[in-house]
Amino acid sequence: MCFKHYTCAYCSRVKTPKKLFSPLETHIEVTHSMPPQKIEIFKSLEGWAEDNLLVHLRPVEKCWQLQDFLPDSSSEGFNEEVTELRGHSKELPNDYFVCLVGDMIAEQNLPTYQTILNTNDGVRDETAASLTPWAIWIRAWTAEENRHGDLLNKYLYLSGRVDMRQIEKTIQYLIGSGMVGFLLTDVALAVNHLVKSSRWLVREHSSPQQALAATCVLHLQDPRTENNPYLCFIYTSFQERATFISHGNTARLAKDHGVVNLAQICETIASDEKRHETGYTKVVEKLFEVDPDYTVLAFADMMRKKITMPAHLIYDGRDDNLVEHFAAVAQRLGVYTAKDYADILEFLVARWKIGELTGLSGEGNEAQDFVCTLAPKIRQLDERAQESAKEAPAISFSWIYDRTVQL
């Protein structure tokens, strides 16, 4: 499959104009890698999806809304509530706001994520109003996720701690960039190369530790799911768990600083991400049940390409290395780390019982061995990077009015 085992319908090299979007490099596009006969599998699973996937959505009337957490603009006490919020936000350090802004920007890139889901053969929403369970899930998942970025955006606006214009530019750059980016190969080799040389995608300020952190966030804006729902549902399973961890850690840090309201916001968002993770992982679990060989090949393929956090092409119009700098701060604060990446991989291997699969093809056995042994390799690289880490420099971030933060 361009995904090595099947001929892809389209493969080309693309250059993107730099003036409109964030800085990009030549990449290879691969589309429609799933064999056409596999579409029937997803059609046959529609009844299963209705009973087992849609249950992880909530009725709108039972969902939380932004106003449950924000000052009420119609209230006579609105100004006092905003003053209180701003006072609490002063307890949070600049590096925390870098991480919170990065998380918010990733959430605001939702139009791109919905687009990705709707490119997948066999599950896309063909009419924008399709009643298949796959299409219902995509629309309702998007509607639930839409609250996350909006809530964090409004909190940040009210806090007065961040440069909203620079943040808004970053969001526009990210959405306008679509899902294109860099071509990488095996994650372990890529991480090893980064740690050894600090040259490829790692700039002058990078230490081995920062380089390793960047591999967990910086990679492809193109998730390389190839219109293939096997690849896409593996990608989303990993991503939802990653965002659950990231928001959970920003909640923990807010609580440590005594900012209870923000901690509740982040915990609530994390809870949604966990519920969505459960839905996506159940889909992949079912695919392992009905088509184990192709599914394990898809899992290995995604891990060779490397799964990345959704904000991996963030750009503010100034800092070409912004995503790397953001990744380094997130790693240092423990918001999202190389260890988290390895933990997620290990969790999914156990959740889907990869080590127990039998009756696989020769290639399937190789894929099984690859994914089952990858997490320890990543941990070893993380340990080496930690041991060789040097004191990092301070870098200014436009999101926080060019105040400096240690990487």
- Residues 291-319 have pLDDT tens digits of 999 999 999 999 998 876 555 678 999 99
Specify if 154 maps to a domain: yes
Mean pLDDT of 31-58: 94
pLDDT in tens, 82-110: 999 999 999 999 999 999 999 999 999 99
Band of the pLDDT at 20, cuts 50, 70, 90?
low
- Residue-level pLDDT at 295: 98
Backbone phi, then psi, for 403, in 5-degree steps? Answer: -70, 150
The confidence score (pLDDT) of residue 275 equals 99
Confidence of residue 211 (pLDDT cuts 50, 70, 90): very low
Burial class of residue 289 in the structure, from the number of CB atoms within 10 Å of its CB (0-12 exposed, 13-18 middle, 19+ buried): exposed
Rounded average pLDDT over 117-132: 96
- Per-residue pLDDT at 390 exceeds 80: no
Is 29 known to sit in a ligand binding site?
no
What kind and span of H or E run contains 11? strand 10-14
Q: Known catalytic residue: 145?
A: yes
201: exposed, middle or buried (Cβ count in 10 Å: 0-12, 13-18, 19+): buried
- The single residue listed with the structure tokens 């898809």 is 298
For residue 305, tell me if it sits in a domain: yes
For residue 333, tell me if it sits in a domain: yes
Flag whether 53 is in a domain: no
Q: How many domains does the chain have?
A: 1
Query: Known binder of ligand: residue 226?
Result: no
Q: Is the pLDDT of residue 157 over 90?
A: yes
From the candidates 121, 125, 222, 273, which is the catalytic residue?
273
In a domain, 62, yes or no: no
Q: Is 148 annotated as a binding residue?
A: yes
Listed in sequence order, the residues at least 6 apart from 319 whose beta carbon sits closer than 8 Å to its beta carbon are 325, 397, 398
SS3 86: helix
Residue 194 lies in a domain: no
Predicted pLDDT of residue 220: 35
Q: Is residue 343's pLDDT more than 70? A: yes
| Per-position DSSP letters for 308-340, written without gaps between them | --TTTT---SS-TTHHHHHHHHHHHHTSS-HHH
Active site residue 107: yes
Query: pLDDT tier at 239 (50, 70, 90 boundaries)?
Result: very high
CA atoms lying within 13 Å on the CB side of residue 161: 24
Judged against a pLDDT cut of 60, whether residue 4 lies above it is answered with no
Whether 3 maps to a domain, the answer reads no
Q: Percentage of the chain surpassing pLDDT 90?
A: 72
What value does the mean pLDDT of the chain take? Answer: 85
Question: How far is Cα 348 from Cα 13, in angstroms, rounded to an integer?
Answer: 32
240 is known as an active-site residue: yes
Answer yes or no: are the C-beta atoms of 239 and 72 closer than 8 Å.
no
Q: Please report whether residue 128 resides in a domain.
A: yes
Say which CATH number the domain at 323 has. 1.10.620.20
**Catalytic entry in 125, 163, 240, 324:** 240
Catalytic residue among 243, 281, 308, 337: 243
Digit-coded pLDDT (tens) for 280-290: 999 999 999 99
Q: Residue 95: what pLDDT?
A: 98
Three-state SS letters, 241-256: HHHHHHHHHHHHHHHH
pLDDT value of residue 23: 53
Residue 143 has what pLDDT? 99
CB atoms within 10 A of CB 12: 9
Read off the pLDDT band of 222 (50, 70, 90). low
Check if 80 is active-site: no
Instruction: Identify whether 399 is a catalytic site residue.
Output: no
What pLDDT does 87 receive?
A: 98
Ranking 9-18, 251-260, 387-396, 397-406 by mean pLDDT, the lowest is 9-18
pLDDT score, position 215: 45
Burial 120-141 (b: 16+ CB within 10 A, else e): bbbbbbeeeebebbbbbbbbbb
Dihedral angle computed from the Cα positions of residues 73, 75, 76 and 80, in that order, rounded to the nearest 10 degrees:
-60
Averaged pLDDT, 66-95? 98
Q: How many residues does the chain have?
A: 407
Of 27, 56, 247, 276, catalytic? 276
**304, 324, 292, 309: which is closest to 113 by C-alpha?**
309
Which pLDDT band holds residue 67 (cuts at 50, 70, 90)? very high
Helix (H), strand (E), coil (C) string for 18-76:
CCCCCCCCCEEEEECCCCHHHHHHHHHCHHHHHHHCHHHCCCHHHCCCHHHCCCCCCCC
27 is catalytic: no
Q: Which residues pair with 406 in a beta bridge?
A: 394
Q: Which of 103, 125, 144, 145 is catalytic?
A: 145
219 is catalytic: no
Q: Say if residue 27 carries a ligand binding annotation.
A: no
Domain assignment of residue 370, given as a range: 78-186+208-406
For residues 194 and 200, the answer to whether their CB atoms sit within 8 Å is yes
